[in-house]
């Protein structure tokens, strides 16, 4: 009897894994979702829609830049005086982390204004996005400035 119960449990677990795998989006579909939501975040920074930007960021998110790690609250405070005017995403790479979570990396070329000062920059960006109850949120993002070669080098 014990082996029949064990077999039933193992069969049920296997079936649930197969059903979950079958309902998970393909790598290409997940990549498209992640890239689309990353663009939605950038567009929110372009239009100054901080509420939308905040809604796309998980409450427990960690965001890292040259000043170090920041919480969602710190990030929203920092971007209050920030506005993108133009950006492009190049060399996008994708890695599936789970059925509804993916990591993208890309090179961003951006122009805008930060606290009253015009800027243009290039950075390498990594972001992790996940879907929770039908809503996509960013869990982690890191920006690293593109290093420019020294003059004459």
Domains and CATH numbers, the chain: 25-145 (3.10.450.50)
- Does 50 have pLDDT greater than 50? yes
Report the C-alpha gap between 105 and 102 in whole angstroms.
Answer: 10
CA dihedral of residues 18, 23, 24, 30 (deg, nearest 10): 160
What was the pLDDT predicted at 153?
Answer: 61
Q: Rounded mean pLDDT of 12-25?
A: 48
* Residue 6 vs residue 75, higher pLDDT: 75
Q: Rounded mean pLDDT of 33-52?
A: 97
Report the C-alpha gap between 67 and 43 in whole angstroms.
Answer: 23
What was the pLDDT predicted at 26?
Answer: 92
Q: How many CB atoms are located within 10 Å of the residue 5 CB?
A: 9
What was the pLDDT predicted at 23?
Answer: 57
CA dihedral of residues 131, 132, 134, 140 (deg, nearest 10): -40
- Does 13 have pLDDT greater than 50? no
Reported confidence tier of residue 149, pLDDT bands at 50, 70, 90: confident
- Does 45 have pLDDT greater than 60? yes
Please give the backbone phi and psi of residue 120, each rounded to the nearest 5 degrees, phi first. -140, 140
What was the pLDDT predicted at 55?
Answer: 97
For tokens 């996005």, what's the residue? 129
Structure confidence by residue, pLDDT tens digits, 67-124: 999 999 999 999 998 999 999 999 999 999 999 999 999 999 999 999 899 999 999 9
Residue 67 burial class via C-beta count within 10 angstroms: exposed 0-12, middle 13-18, buried 19 and up: exposed
Please give the backbone phi and psi of residue 150, each rounded to the nearest 5 degrees, phi first. -65, 150
Structure tokens at 30: 């997940």
Report the C-alpha gap between 132 and 90 in whole angstroms.
Answer: 27
- Does 19 have pLDDT greater than 80? no
């Amino acid at each position: 009897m014990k082996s029949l119960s064990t077999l039933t449990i193992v069969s049920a677990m296997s079936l649930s894994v197969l059903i979950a795998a079958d309902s998970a989006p393909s790598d290409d579909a997940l990549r498209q979702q992640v890239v689309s939501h990353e663009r939605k975040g950038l567009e929110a920074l372009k239009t100054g829609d901080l509420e939308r930007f905040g809604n796309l960021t998980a409450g427990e998110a960690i965001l890292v830049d040259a000043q170090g790690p920041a919480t969602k609250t710190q990030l929203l405070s920092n971007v209050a005086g920030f506005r993108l005017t133009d950006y492009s995403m190049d060399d996008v790479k994708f890695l599936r982390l789970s059925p509804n979570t993916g990591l993208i990396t890309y090179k961003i070329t951006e122009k805008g204004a930060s606290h009253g000062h015009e800027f243009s920059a290039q950075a390498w960006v990594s972001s992790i996005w996940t879907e929770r109850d039908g809503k996509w949120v960013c869990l982690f993002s890191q920006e690293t400035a593109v290093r420019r070669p020294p003059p004459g080098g």
